[in-house]
């Protein structure tokens, strides 16, 4: 169970090149720190379809839609076979509200 406000270990897999049969390769897993929240949120994806997220992650680096995030650590080569690794369905990057403030980076999974 995660506790709001705490910093968690998060693993990120960036989508690589497309394979020959519609699948993708994956870049090496990257260990991150961030805030993870298991919560549902209604959002509109890039195709204009409404979806409900399973979780959201607040991060210090940019990530890409189509990549995968996992609460916890993993060195697996393929995130699609990792239990509770979720595809990034939407990514939002908001600039700081004041000079010297932090940029908010939020991934919906």
pLDDT in tens, 14-54: 999 887 787 889 999 999 999 999 989 999 887 889 999 99
pTM passes above 0.95: no
CA dist list (Å): 42 to 22, 53, 108:
28, 6, 10
β-bridge pairing 56-59 and 104-108: antiparallel
pLDDT in tens, 50-59: 999 999 999 9
If you search the block for the tokens 């204009």, which residue do you land on? 48
Contact indicator for 105, 59 with CB cutoff of 8 Å: yes
CA distance 16 to 34: 23
């Amino acid at each position: 169970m995660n506790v709001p406000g705490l910093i968690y270990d998060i693993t990120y897999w960036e989508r690589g090149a497309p394979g020959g049969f519609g699948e993708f390769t994956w870049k090496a897993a990257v260990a991150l720190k961030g805030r993870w929240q298991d919560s549902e949120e209604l959002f509109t994806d890039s195709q204009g379809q409404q979806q409900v997220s399973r979780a959201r992650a607040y991060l210090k680096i940019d990530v890409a839609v189509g990549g995968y995030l996992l609460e916890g650590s993993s060195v697996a080569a393929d995130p699609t076979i990792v239990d509770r690794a979720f595809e990034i369905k939407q990514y939002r990057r908001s600039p700081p509200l004041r000079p010297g403030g932090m940029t908010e980076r939020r991934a919906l999974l």
